[in-house]
Amino acid sequence: MTRLTALLALALALICGPLHAQEDYPNRPIRLIVPFAAGGSTDIVARIIAAKMSEILKQQVIVDNRGGAGGNLGAAAVAKAAPDGYTVLMGTVATHAINPALYTKMPYDPVKDFAPVSLLVNVPNVVIVHPSLNVKTTEELIALLKANPGKYEYASSGIGTPLHLSGALFESMAGVKMVHVPYKGAGPAMLDVVSGQVKIMFDNLPSAIGHIRKGSVVGLAVTTKDRSPAAPDLPTVSESGLPGYETYSWNAIFAPAGTPMAIIDKLAKAGAAAVADPDVKAKLADISAVSVGSTPDALAAHVKAELAKWGPVVKASGASINE
């Protein structure tokens, strides 16, 4: 082999190698990093979807829980991973919309450090009150709060969490004032609401719906644009006293920036097919998650809109974390 022939062969290998790897993708298991502890709503959603994606991609999609710093630790791990499609993130409203405004030191850029893959599901929040408050609608709650500024407390899962900021947005849009009581998680917060120690809470619908059905709390309205199929009798906040109000949790797959588009497209199609599967949709609906399955471009637009929405809310709330 001449020197020129050898150089041409090397160049061809360098060009064709990555292309073949993309065509052959995936040829080994994929790690789906969930940036929160096992057992939470993001983890549950991830495991339901990962099982179906494993079937579709014919490679195991392994859920890897990397909790800490409100989701920042797990998200940062993916941002720094090789852009080969074998380490991806189950991102949320926290990791890609709220934390960038909440934390003074971010270990990643939510836009520049990630390649959007697919918005998989939306999860409604719900406004709940203790029965002793004697309100049945959002309009009645707003009227009560306006007549008693600063008198009533609302519980959340912690400072700067989506549940805290759902309450802060409610205060801002309704022109009312409540006292925020942060807890170390939604579970302890709900215990105090059920007992009546705190009268109001903005919670994820999956964890609240059992208490609503038992009557231990009163569900006033869901926070999404449309009513939830899991609780069709509950109106939306927007249609019951606060037009334009909308908050919800969401789960989406992100890959590290620089991941080849061919791999992004394969992952996006697999994610969309997974959440469109009738059995998966039923499992997700059972925990009040609404299937979406967007394109990468649609997820990119969604993140941009969410950053613009939550930045001012975080600032107005005064919440800030120095980590």
The token duo for 288 is 């009040």
- Calculate what percentage of the chain has a pLDDT beyond 90: 68
Helix (H, G, I), strand (E, B) or coil at 37: coil
Please give the full DSSP string across 230-280, using - where no structure is assigned.
TSTTSPBTTTTT-TT---EEEEEEEEETT--HHHHHHHHHHHHHHHHSHHH
| pLDDT interval class at 9 (50, 70, 90) | low
Is 92's pLDDT higher than 70? Answer: yes
Return d(Cα 58, Cα 75) in angstroms, integer. 25
Provide the pLDDT for residue 162. 87
Burial, 133: exposed, middle or buried (Cβ in 10 Å; 0-12, 13-18, 19+)? middle
Structural domains of the chain ordered from first start: 3-123+249-317 (3.40.190.150), 124-222 (3.40.190.10)
Give the pTM: 0.81
Q: Where are the alpha helices (DSSP H) in the chain?
A: 3-23, 41-57, 72-79, 93, 99-102, 138-147, 162-174, 186-195, 205-214, 261-276, 278-286, 296-317
CB–CB of 137/239 below 8 Å? no
| pLDDT interval class at 137 (50, 70, 90) | very high
Residue type, 219: G
Return d(Cα 181, Cα 280) in angstroms, integer. 36
pLDDT average, residue stretch 63-72: 90
